[in-house]
Amino acid sequence: MARGADPDTRLDRTTMTHPLLTQFFVIASTTILAGQTALAAGPANLSVEATGPQTSPQDVLHWTAEEKFAGFPAIDTLFPTRPITGTLQPRELPEQLADLSNFTYDFDNKSWDLKSHMRAQPTAGILVIHNGNIVVEHYGLNHRADLPWVSFSVTKSVVSLLFGAALKDGFISSLDAPITDYLPEFKNTSYAGVSIKHILHMASGVAWNEDYADRQSDIAQLPVEQDAGFAYMGELPRVAPAGQRFNYNTGETNIAGAILRKAIGGNLSDYAGAKLFQPAGLSDNAYWMLDAANGDEFAGCCISATLRDYGRIGLFVLDHSLDAAENSPFPSDWLQQSTSPSTGSDGYGYFWWLLGDGVYAAEGIFGQIILVDPNRQLVIALQSAWQDAWSDRSEAQTMALFQALANFVTQPRQ
């Protein structure tokens, strides 16, 4: 399950994650409460008062641990959101809990168990599902099974699924269609000739600076309101042929969402409810962050859902990973298409990270992950509040844990 990427790919992976927090940062700059005490009180007692700008976007990246613990399960009290309709009778997840009393794994010349891992990489919840049964489920940071937790860029993989649904529904005729068929405002820009597929592969060839430390970078300058953001992007130059170079671009994630909204003639939350959350049996306890009150969803960020619903998304993907049933919301080979390497990167598909050996994952900053292993009928879901938005060490240790847990729960039981 280790990524095994070269240094350049790891750099792309790091820069991929940071931009998705940018929308969170910019909105947060106008809604973070003045004092620290409400956040420090914890999720159950979180009280938020919008008092105007209190901090810069860069400051939010450095939220204290207590602020993360309180804020990540309470995004709807901090920012504008839209509910996603699930079902009042969620998909059952039978429990066959593994005995982890003897479970350990090695990392960085040390032996770790699950508890020590959860302390070292602040973990709100970890769920392992094997053959449809919950075999591991643990919570930390005062998190609970019934509380949503923000997913950050895990959301992009949900959007990938919605593009499959839009193809099946006939709202989109082909991923090879130019984006200008849906967004004509890009006709006289560097995006002329860029296809939907190029956007899903993060390979438009249009210049984009993701340097989060640089206040003059594109990601730092991109307006939060998406129409203004598109006007900004329309001024960017082309630096490579479309489809040839992988370069994560937060602004283009918003383009993907706008294409989908134009195609379906509605908002993404309602479509996600109809095509994923209800068919997959997710609970009626999720919401999606918007760019403004009653505005548009960020296609690359910030669906909040419970840990078990993260797992149910993974199970639904697993159900359709080889050959979707006739009544599936996706084309029969959609997951195979989505998780096939692109020309620009052998580690990236349609908004999915490809981890090798047929394993793929949705990954978000601060340690949010849904990993799917069709070969072993395995799903691992993680909710976290890592110290840094992203670090190679946190990812490496987490993947070491995942590998060890996968081996442990899939081995024949005595």
* Ramachandran assignment for 318, one of left (phi > 0), alpha (psi -120 to 50 degrees), beta (any other): alpha
Residue 378 falls inside a structural domain = yes
User: Where does a domain end: 217, 235, 256?
Assistant: 256
Please check whether residues 406 and 270 belong to one and the same domain: yes
Residue 49 falls inside a structural domain = yes
Q: What is the pLDDT of residues 132-163, one digit of tens each?
A: 999 999 999 999 999 999 999 999 999 999 99
Residue 322, pLDDT score: 73
Please check whether residues 369 and 269 belong to one and the same domain: yes
CATH of the domain at 14: 3.40.710.10
Residue 159 falls inside a structural domain = no
Lay out the sheet containing 81-84: strands in order across. 81-84, 286-289, 303-305, 149-150
Please check whether residues 396 and 293 belong to one and the same domain: yes
Residue 323, pLDDT score: 67
Q: Which residue has the tokens 């598909």?
A: 349
Q: Which residue has the tokens 């580690």?
A: 347
Residue 378, pLDDT score: 98
Please check whether residues 197 and 66 belong to one and the same domain: no
Orientation of helix 7-28 relative to helix 250-264, angle to 10°: 70
Neighbour tally for 237: CB within 10 Å = 8
User: Where does a domain end: 256, 290, 306?
Assistant: 256
Please check whether residues 282 and 363 belong to one and the same domain: yes
Q: Which residue has the tokens 């049964």?
A: 133
Please check whether residues 140 and 250 belong to one and the same domain: no
Please check whether residues 139 and 288 belong to one and the same domain: yes
Residue 1 falls inside a structural domain = no
Please state the three-class secondary structure of 100-123 as a single string. Answer: CCCCCEEECCEEECHHHHHHHCCE
Closest by Cα among 186, 183, 301 to 236:
186
Residue 318 falls inside a structural domain = yes
Q: What is the pLDDT of residues 203-260, one digit of tens each?
A: 999 999 877 556 788 877 888 788 999 999 999 999 999 999 999 888 898 999 999 9
Residue 213, pLDDT score: 52
Please check whether residues 311 and 228 belong to one and the same domain: no
The range of the structural domain enclosing residue 113 comes to 7-154+265-410
pTM of the entire predicted model: 0.86
Please check whether residues 245 and 126 belong to one and the same domain: no
Residue 295, pLDDT score: 94
User: Where does a domain end: 216, 234, 256?
Assistant: 256
Residue 172 falls inside a structural domain = no
Residue 121, pLDDT score: 97
Residue 248, pLDDT score: 83
Type of residue at 238:
R
Please check whether residues 11 and 142 belong to one and the same domain: yes
Low-confidence ranges of the chain (pLDDT < 70): 1-62, 212-214, 323-325, 413-414
Contact criterion met (CB below 8 Å) for 132 and 94: yes
Residue 164 falls inside a structural domain = no
Contact criterion met (CB below 8 Å) for 240 and 208: no
Residue 248 falls inside a structural domain = yes
- State residue 46 phi and psi, 5-degree precision: -65, 130
Please check whether residues 149 and 194 belong to one and the same domain: no
Q: How many domains does the chain have?
A: 2
Q: How far is CA 19 from the centre of its chain?
A: 12
Structure tokens given for 128: 């392992």
Tally helices (H) and strands (E) across the chain: 15, 12
CATH of the domain at 192: 1.20.58.710
Please check whether residues 185 and 149 belong to one and the same domain: no
Residue 1, pLDDT score: 37
Q: How far apart are CA 271 and CA 296, in angstroms?
A: 13
Residue 282, pLDDT score: 98
Q: Around 351, how many Cα atoms within 13 Å sit in the side-chain half-sphere?
A: 30
Helix (H) or strand (E) holding 380: strand 378-384
Task: Work out whether strand 353-356 and strand 378-384 pair parallel, antiparallel, or are unpaired.
Answer: unpaired
Q: Strand pairing partners for 378? A: 130, 373
Q: How far apart are CA 129 and CA 406, in angstroms?
A: 10
Residue 55, pLDDT score: 34
